[in-house]
Amino acid sequence: MPVTEPDIVGELQEREPSGYLLASVRGVGQVDLQPLIWTGLVILAALWSAGWEIGLFATLGTLVSTATAYALGVDRSNIVLGLQGYSGCLTGIALVISLGHHPATYVLAVTGAVLCTVLTATLTTLLGPYGLTALTAPFCLVSGVMVLGAPSFSRIWNGAPKQVSSPTSGETAISWDDLWHAFFTNVSQVFLVDEWYVGLIMLVGLALAGVRVVLFAAAGSVVSIVAAWALGAPTEQIREGIYGYNAVLVAIALGAVFLSGTVANGAYALFGAVASTGLTASLTSFFKPFGGHTFTWPFILTTWALMAAVPLLPRLRRSD
Amino acid sequence: MPVTEPDIVGELQEREPSGYLLASVRGVGQVDLQPLIWTGLVILAALWSAGWEIGLFATLGTLVSTATAYALGVDRSNIVLGLQGYSGCLTGIALVISLGHHPATYVLAVTGAVLCTVLTATLTTLLGPYGLTALTAPFCLVSGVMVLGAPSFSRIWNGAPKQVSSPTSGETAISWDDLWHAFFTNVSQVFLVDEWYVGLIMLVGLALAGVRVVLFAAAGSVVSIVAAWALGAPTEQIREGIYGYNAVLVAIALGAVFLSGTVANGAYALFGAVASTGLTASLTSFFKPFGGHTFTWPFILTTWALMAAVPLLPRLRRSD
Amino acid sequence: MPVTEPDIVGELQEREPSGYLLASVRGVGQVDLQPLIWTGLVILAALWSAGWEIGLFATLGTLVSTATAYALGVDRSNIVLGLQGYSGCLTGIALVISLGHHPATYVLAVTGAVLCTVLTATLTTLLGPYGLTALTAPFCLVSGVMVLGAPSFSRIWNGAPKQVSSPTSGETAISWDDLWHAFFTNVSQVFLVDEWYVGLIMLVGLALAGVRVVLFAAAGSVVSIVAAWALGAPTEQIREGIYGYNAVLVAIALGAVFLSGTVANGAYALFGAVASTGLTASLTSFFKPFGGHTFTWPFILTTWALMAAVPLLPRLRRSD
């Protein structure tokens, strides 16, 4: 997210609506903290390959969030980098998965995408003094609140079409087949999708963003599998990517975006990836009694905590 | 709350205890964010009309909170505007409703009112850097903690006399009779009272504070009814004002107090009123497992979130 | 914690590893907010007297947290005062009590102690602008998350060896025998130990730190017993120190460390001690549905709230 690419920004501000569409495509890539247009395009293709409903709602959410940012007068250089679209993208996906494909879901997705843009501004104000960014917290807040409240409203709730996720006890023996599935679904679960080929396409998109990005994404996926196995998590959950998508995001964020490329920083990033793996189980237990959702909270909380610590830990250094 | 009325302040600082009594009456009006003495008086009368227990505990809470502020040396110009009394007012009402009319409830109401003044200072310190105010959060924190802890203590707990509120599933067909009841109880439920005539008297008090105040209160009530009906909330809950009192407060706060009087700001205020209506169901689901209470949290969280976003949304403008 | 002892600091920075060991011993005393080396030694002896497992894990946690602080380059003058060790100390104890004495518990205790040092930096960054310190929050966060997540992981979870604590309804008649047991266990429960003689030894350690420290520790213990009895808490819980250890910490923190020694400040400290006693029941009810733990949260939240209020309450004054 700190990537500024000043010439691209200047160029985009000139021409609309292509500027709007480009900003939206970048928004899809910003879910993985990458502003590169090609990364966004490949990930968008991966989402459509996962199913037309997921592709459609991801697209809808991103477009509405980005348009809302224009309408409310958000700083233009921030919009063109896609920083106003990624929460709407995830909110669209989360709502269609949690509530099913119904007319009311379209209304909620649009409302949710608008709210994401407002909450992005809220969190930017609140976190700014600490040098932290909103990450995907607007998505987690908006989708969490909507999915939590939905069963109270008869014109919205048509019964849960599918449970989003929850670690339970289960078999812990792991096979080679489980391992490589987990490696890719850890990447696709960032977008709430558990298809290995979707994760593979997304890794290609991340590779376009740079070697360091894809290496840390892969390393985050690997260490989370090792950690989850060593702790004794159920194989079924590991295979579906439940224990790894937060680690992938933490590894990208700390390893390739927010911290400079030193060995100590890299070790810190992977330590964070492991911590987020354990935190996933704790947060899921926390959310269970009241029906909340884990979403990307483990990534967000881990990254905020580890980034806020950096100013007092001189062995580590921010990238900017 | 930003209304300063400097001459009145100067005048009040001279003579006590009439200054103390006036500050307390204003405190009752500040629950609806209005410092006008006549608004406070009319609302206080409405509370006594709802029942002597409610009137008594509202009065007791306001007097103790305000007196505590004097004793602890809180800035005098802040006290005389009633800003130290409104949380105590609501805490008194919430405790007598939740715990029943017993000797122990008086002790708790006094303790709670003292705590409200301390927590008002706490939140002012914490929120000040963001340009946010405490709103009714001291009330929600103190009453929430006390009601949550009460069943553990045998000398306090006499069994719940009445459930404060909780949306459940139910009939969603709505009649004209339901509609006008809801319109008024949305206003009275701000003070945890579900009598339509109490809401009517309070609206008169708000009208004294200004046309814009009463119009936004009414508009907040209307949009919350429309939103709750459109979402499919149970009619019983809508009629009792459960889904609308937060919307009334949000509409007053954003539409008539904190933001300037532009069309965009007005639309933003009503958008917030709708958001708080949905948030009410989510927070009630969140609080249910551990026995917490929704109180005015939807209003507080919505107003904080929307106000903190304003500095980054140039289409909107603060009133000061 | 504001005690600086500049000459001792200078002296310690010279020679290692004795400086490392002294910093760790001070870390044990800093659980009670005391940097004095003798206090740390006496408390450490008390912990070993409570059982070799508790003594061992307290020592391990303190040593690892302190070593991590050196490794990450935390400010040296902060380390030598023991401010990087106390959360690791408590985390070690909490994990061996909650998870039992197993090989995996050693791994978790080391990981947890490392995380405590990171989170101490995180909270120092976040709380610094408000003049607040981390207190034992890193311990509560790390231990809370680990104990909450543990049952999801089959290679960690061997069944709960003992329930850490939870107030339930019960007999409220209280005898002299209950009273003096409670007085001492209130002190030992700060370290999750409910043996009266351990509390007695710890009080001796606190007496070495100064008359004011031990007097406020004792006063906090007494007012919490009176408050818990007056509220009607179960005698069994009072006797085991469940309702009093937070009050002891609040009384020490506000009465003898953070505020200057005036009568108003002393009354404020004991008011806080009573508030934390009530808050203990509320937080335990809050944590129950999802299996979280109260630990020292009532102390932390009460102290943060009351300290953040001080700048706006001129009758009270900070010690520095």
Q: Which of B132, B226, B231 to mutate to test the interface with A (most CBs of A within 10 A)?
A: B231
Contacts of A310 in chain C (CB under 8 A): 121
- Based on the fold, state whether residues B59 and B146 are members of the same structural domain: yes
Q: How far apart are the C-alpha atoms of A15 and A66, rounded to whole Å? A: 16
| Residue B212 CB coordination number (10 Å) | 14
Residue C310 has pLDDT above 90, yes or no: yes
SS3 B151: helix
B:C CB pairs within 8 Å: 88
* A114-129 pLDDT tens trace: 999 999 999 999 999 9
- For residue B318, which phi and psi values (nearest 5 degrees)? -65, 155
Radius of gyration of chain C measured on its C-alpha atoms: 18
In a domain, A159, yes or no: no
Q: How far apart are the C-alpha atoms of A276 and B203, rounded to whole Å? A: 51
In a domain, B169, yes or no: no
Give the chain B residue whose CA is nearest to the CA of C284.
B149
- Based on the fold, state whether residues B140 and B203 are members of the same structural domain: no
Instruction: Specify whether the CB–CB gap between C235 and C178 falls below 8 A.
Output: yes
Query: Tell me, what CATH number does A94's domain have?
Result: 1.10.3430.10
Of B120, B152, B184, which marks where a domain is finished? B152
Q: How far apart are the C-alpha atoms of B140 and B120, rounded to whole Å? A: 11
User: What percent of chain A is predicted at pLDDT more than 70?
Assistant: 92
In a domain, C163, yes or no: no
In a domain, C308, yes or no: yes
Contacts of C311 in chain B (CB under 8 A): 121, 125
Of C152, C184, C201, which marks where a domain is finished? C152
Neighbours of chain C (3+ CB pairs under 8 A): A, B
In a domain, C1, yes or no: no
> At C60, is the pLDDT very low, low, confident or very high (cuts 50, 70, 90)?
very high
Hey, CA dihedral for C262, C263, C264, C269, is it positive or negative?
positive
> At C169, is the pLDDT very low, low, confident or very high (cuts 50, 70, 90)?
low
Give the chain A residue whose CA is nearest to the CA of C68.
A313
pLDDT confidence of residue C16: 60
Radius of gyration of chain B measured on its C-alpha atoms: 18
Nearest to C309 among B122, B148, B292 (CB): B122
Q: How far apart are the C-alpha atoms of C243 and A142, rounded to whole Å? A: 38
Of B119, B152, B185, which marks where a domain is finished? B152
> At C160, is the pLDDT very low, low, confident or very high (cuts 50, 70, 90)?
low
Contacts of A254 in chain C (CB under 8 A): none
pLDDT confidence of residue A221: 97
- Based on the fold, state whether residues A103 and A202 are members of the same structural domain: no
SS3 B246: helix
How near does any CA of chain A get to the CA of C211, in Å? 34
Contacts of C317 in chain B (CB under 8 A): none
pLDDT confidence of residue A2: 43
pLDDT confidence of residue B171: 78
- Hey, are the CB atoms on A149 and B311 less than 8 Å from each other? no
- Based on the fold, state whether residues C182 and C126 are members of the same structural domain: no
- Based on the fold, state whether residues B91 and B198 are members of the same structural domain: no
Residue in the block written with tokens 């849960």: A160
In the predicted model, what is the mean pLDDT of residues B233-247? 94
SS3 C2: coil
How near does any CA of chain A get to the CA of C182, in Å? 32
- Hey, are the CB atoms on A309 and C121 less than 8 Å from each other? yes
In a domain, C230, yes or no: yes
In the predicted model, what is the mean pLDDT of residues C106-126? 97
pLDDT confidence of residue A105: 95
- Hey, are the CB atoms on C155 and A230 less than 8 Å from each other? yes
Q: How far apart are the C-alpha atoms of C211 and C201, rounded to whole Å? A: 15
Supply the range of the domain harboring residue B10: 6-152
Q: Which helix (H) or strand (E) holds C206?
A: helix C196-208
- Based on the fold, state whether residues A205 and A92 are members of the same structural domain: no
Q: How far apart are the C-alpha atoms of A72 and B317, rounded to whole Å? A: 11
Contacts of C305 in chain B (CB under 8 A): 118-119, 122
> At B33, is the pLDDT very low, low, confident or very high (cuts 50, 70, 90)?
very high
How near does any CA of chain C get to the CA of A136, in Å? 20
pLDDT confidence of residue C4: 45
Q: How far apart are the C-alpha atoms of A3 and A216, rounded to whole Å? A: 17
In a domain, B161, yes or no: no
Instruction: Give burial (CB, 10 Å; 0-12/13-18/19+) of A105.
Output: buried
User: What mean pLDDT value characterizes chain C?
Assistant: 91
N- to C-terminal Cα separation, chain C: 11
Q: How far apart are the C-alpha atoms of B295 and A145, rounded to whole Å? A: 17
- Based on the fold, state whether residues A129 and A189 are members of the same structural domain: no
- Based on the fold, state whether residues C302 and C180 are members of the same structural domain: yes
Return all residues near B167 (Cβ < 8 A) that are at least 6 apart.
A152, B233, B234, B237, B242, B243, B280, B281, B284
In the predicted model, what is the mean pLDDT of residues C283-293? 89
Structure tokens at A235: 């194989």
- Based on the fold, state whether residues C199 and C112 are members of the same structural domain: no
Residue in the block written with tokens 């884990």: A294
User: What percent of chain C is predicted at pLDDT more than 90?
Assistant: 82
Instruction: Specify whether the CB–CB gap between C247 and C277 falls below 8 A.
Output: yes
Q: Which residue has the higher pLDDT, A168 or B187?
A: B187
Q: How many domains would you assign to chain B?
A: 2
- Based on the fold, state whether residues B137 and B60 are members of the same structural domain: yes
Contacts of B314 in chain A (CB under 8 A): 72-73
Instruction: Specify whether the CB–CB gap between B167 and B283 falls below 8 A.
Output: no
Contacts 24+ apart (CB under 8 A), C289-292: C289/A289, C289/A290, C289/B289, C289/B290, C290/A285, C290/A286, C290/A287, C290/A288, C290/A289, C290/B289, C290/C148, C291/A285, C291/C147, C291/C148, C291/C151, C292/A286, C292/C144, C292/C147, C292/C148
Return all residues near B65 (Cβ < 8 A) that are at least 6 apart.
B27, B84, B85, B87, B88, B89, B91, B113, B114, B116, B117
Instruction: Specify whether the CB–CB gap between B253 and B30 falls below 8 A.
Output: no
Instruction: Specify whether the CB–CB gap between A226 and A186 falls below 8 A.
Output: no
In a domain, C85, yes or no: yes
CA dist A144 → A123, A139, B103 (Å) = 16, 8, 41
- Based on the fold, state whether residues A138 and A207 are members of the same structural domain: no
Contacts of A316 in chain C (CB under 8 A): 72
In the predicted model, what is the mean pLDDT of residues C123-143? 96
> Which of A286-300, B29-43, B165-179, C264-278 has the weakest average pLDDT?
B165-179
A:C CB pairs within 8 Å: 90
pLDDT confidence of residue A11: 47
- Hey, are the CB atoms on B155 and C281 less than 8 Å from each other? no
Q: Which residues pair with C259 in a beta bridge?
A: C318
Directed axis angle between helix C176-188 and helix C211-231, to 10°? 130
Picking from A213, A209, A313, the residue whose alpha carbon sits closest to that of residue A261 is A213
Chain A positions touching chain B (beta carbons under 8 Å): 71-75, 114-115, 118-119, 121-122, 124-126, 129, 144-146, 148-149, 151-157, 289-292
Q: Which of A235, A254, A270, A285 to mutate to test the interface with C (most CBs of C within 10 A)?
A: A285
How near does any CA of chain B get to the CA of A126, in Å? 7
- Based on the fold, state whether residues A182 and A230 are members of the same structural domain: yes
Flag residues of chain A having pLDDT under 70. 1-17, 160-169
